[in-house]
Amino acid sequence: MADFTADQAAVVRITRTEEGRWDLAVVSDSGVAMGRGVYLFDAEHDDEMDEIAAAREFVGQYGFDFAPDTVQEEAPDTFWAPLVAAG
């Protein structure tokens, strides 16, 4: 687990890097990646809900969560959402 506080963690970034792979990162309020993960999937699981579920599971390992309706598109195949403390 990364060594950072809830005040430092700002967003989760979700980026499709290749077919069947999403890279996940917990990013600090200063823009530093503080935790990284990979979500590998097959074509039948390539939808918004599966990606959000995988990202929520990933950030949950660090004690965070995000609301699915807060996900924003940054660029094609790149998304982010603000983090909140899991509760």
Q: What is the pLDDT of residues 24-81, one digit of tens each?
A: 999 988 888 888 999 888 777 667 788 889 899 999 998 899 999 999 999 999 999 9
Tokens of 8: 């430092």
Which pLDDT band holds residue 7 (cuts at 50, 70, 90)? low
The residue length of the chain stands at 87
Instruction: Kindly give, in sequence order, each residue whose CB lies less than 8 Å from that of residue 31, ignoring residues fewer than 6 positions away.
Output: none
Q: Which residues contact 21 (CB under 8 A, 6 or more apart)?
A: 38, 39, 40, 41
Q: What is the largest CA-CA distance in the chain?
A: 37
Instruction: Please name the residue that has the structure tokens 């094609």.
Output: 76
